[in-house]
């Protein structure tokens, strides 16, 4: 196996009563664990493995227990243990063969001298033998209906953006244009170009606020969640209960208190009026804490024993293992900041966001109906694109956020 194809994972190995931190490197026929000084601590031939067990700790982290033919047993806590286990199990020549119930029935029938009947081949293969084909059809029909209902607004918005002006006012409305055109998008560019504030300025404001707000929210929420999830201190439960309570209030309820606070510290009509509330959003802290609780505490304790500091543990061990959670936080934060018009706290036209400029175009009357439809597609395209690129991580976060160590 080449160096690039070698499977590697950082973590710790338990040998006797000693935890050794380093890196496991897996090849086609053997695996070796190296300490932080790049010294080989243990080499394991796959053919010598007698038993192999994997316990997933959350995300890609897992604990692998292996017992060798010489009765020695080793336990590895790896950051990407799931990938390592899959590689080792596939290359393990002594892995137990899994026989199905049908194989066992065939073996018993042969012992009794009975004739074995070949199973009938079904046109539709079912993953759930205990459910009828009619049940499968019903489930897929329901899922199809739900998918159509959820995808219809998106298709209709794209179709409206491609319609000429005469088709936009047709009744009953059509889902897809008969004569598609991109005139609405070209007219939108022309209208934005006629503004006394350049289009690039609105875009720069939005990108700057979205990037800085998301980055600050992610770092602050992750650090606070790490302390709340893995350390006990006076007032920790009370603080987290306050965070959970804050999730119950929408932005419309907290708008006036936020304005009063920002006005008292003189940050109205500045970027900080949007960035500071984004840093303190409770949703990120809640999700990161719930996900971090699934990390094994033994992994952090082993890092403490090896002399790693708190920030090193947070940045090098915790954050890589909670990647699905912080990707989910990024999506929620980007969606909130990208769609924020900031009209209530920013008054200078040169500091306003792209969404505010688009809203002014949408309010331009009947003549700008086509441009308004194009605005809808442009505004929703960024959050949808980010969600599509990281939807698998979001699903893993939702599935693992309730698991505790």
Predicted confidence (pLDDT) at residue 2 exceeds the cutoff of 60: no
Instruction: Give residue-wise pLDDT tens across range 290-310.
Output: 888 888 888 888 888 888 888
Percent of the chain with pLDDT over 70: 87
pTM recorded for the entire structure = 0.60
CATH number for the domain formed by residue range(s) 7-91: 2.30.29.30
Helix axes 323-338, 199-230, angle to 10 degrees: 140
d(CA 221, CA 223): 6
Residue 205 and residue 353 in contact, taking contact as beta carbons nearer than 8 Å: yes
In terms of Cβ atoms closer than 10 Å to its own Cβ (0-12, 13-18, 19+), residue 224 is middle
Helix ranges (H only) for 169-198 are: 183-193
Looking at the domain 183-400, which fold is it? MetI-like fold (1.10.3720)
What pLDDT score does 381 carry? 83
- Give the residue among 330, 328, 320, 395 at the shortest CA–CA distance from 82: 320
Instruction: Give residue-wise pLDDT tens across range 245-303.
Output: 988 888 778 888 888 998 999 999 899 999 999 998 898 999 899 888 888 888 888 88
The two three-digit tokens of residue 186, written as one number? 């070209």
What pLDDT score does 50 carry? 87
What pLDDT score does 223 carry? 93
d(CA 210, CA 275): 9
Give the residue, 146 or 5, on which the prediction is more confident.
146
Q: Tell me the Ramachandran region of residue 266: left when phi exceeds 0, alpha when psi lies from -120 to 50, beta otherwise.
A: left
CA end-to-end span of the chain: 35
Beta bridge partners of 64: 54, 76
CA distances in angstroms from 348 to 29, 271, 316, 352, listed in the order given:
66, 11, 42, 7
The two three-digit tokens of residue 398, written as one number? 């939702």
Predicted confidence (pLDDT) at residue 145 exceeds the cutoff of 90: yes
The helix/strand/coil state of 125 is: coil
Residue 92 and residue 100 in contact, taking contact as beta carbons nearer than 8 Å: no
Predicted confidence (pLDDT) at residue 128 exceeds the cutoff of 80: no
The two domains 7-91 and 183-400 share their CATH topology (first three levels equal):
no
Mean pLDDT of 120-141: 70
Q: Which residue ranges make up each domain of the chain?
A: 7-91, 133-168, 183-400
Mean pLDDT of the chain: 83
Beta bridge partners of 45: 30
- Give the residue among 30, 32, 9, 34 at the shortest CA–CA distance from 20: 34
Mean pLDDT of 224-236: 89
């Amino acid at each position: 196996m080449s160096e690039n194809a070698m499977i590697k994972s950082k973590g710790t190995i338990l040998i006797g009563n000693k935890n050794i931190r380093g890196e496991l490197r897996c090849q086609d026929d053997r695996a070796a664990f190296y300490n932080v000084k790049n010294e080989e601590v243990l080499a394991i031939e796959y053919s010598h493995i007698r038993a192999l067990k994997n316990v997933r700790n959350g995300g890609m982290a897992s604990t692998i227990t292996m017992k060798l033919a010489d009765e020695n047993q080793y336990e590895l806590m790896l950051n990407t243990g799931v990938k390592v286990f899959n590689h080792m199990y596939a290359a393990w020549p002594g892995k137990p063969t899994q026989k199905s119930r049908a194989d066992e029935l065939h073996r018993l029938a042969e012992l009794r001298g009975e004739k074995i009947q070949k199973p009938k081949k079904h046109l539709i293969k079912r993953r759930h033998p205990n459910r009828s084909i009619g049940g499968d059809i019903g489930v897929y029909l329901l899922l199809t209906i739900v998918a159509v209902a959820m995808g219809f607004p998106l298709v209709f918005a794209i179709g409206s953006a491609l319609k000429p002006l005469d088709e936009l006012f047709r009744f009953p409305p059509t889902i897809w244009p008969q004569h598609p055109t991109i005139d609405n998008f070209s007219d939108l560019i022309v209208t934005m170009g006629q503004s006394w504030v350049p289009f690039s300025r609105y875009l720069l404001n939005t990108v700057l606020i979205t990037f800085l707000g998301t980055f600050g929210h992610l770092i602050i929420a992750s650090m606070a969640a790490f302390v709340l999830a893995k350390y006990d201190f006076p007032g920790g439960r009370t603080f987290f209960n306050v965070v959970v309570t804050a999730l119950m209030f929408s932005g419309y309820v907290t708008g006036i208190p936020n304005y009063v606070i920002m006005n008292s510290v003189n940050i109205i009509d500045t970027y900080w009026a949007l960035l500071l509330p984004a840093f303190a959003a409770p949703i990120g802290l809640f999700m990161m804490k719930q996900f971090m609780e699934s990390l094994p505490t033994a992994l952090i304790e082993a890092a403490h024993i090896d002399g790693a500091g708190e920030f090193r543990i947070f940045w090098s061990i915790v954050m890589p293992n909670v990647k699905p959670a912080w990707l989910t936080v990024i999506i929620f934060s980007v969606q909130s900041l990208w769609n924020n018009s900031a009209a209530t706290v920013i008054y200078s036209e040169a500091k306003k966001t792209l969404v505010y400029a688009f809203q002014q175009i949408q309010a331009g009357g009947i003549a700008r109906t086509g441009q308004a439809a194009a605005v809808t597609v442009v505004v929703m395209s960024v959050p949808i694109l980010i969600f599509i690129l990281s939807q698998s991580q979001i699903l893993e976060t939702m599935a693992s956020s309730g698991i505790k160590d």
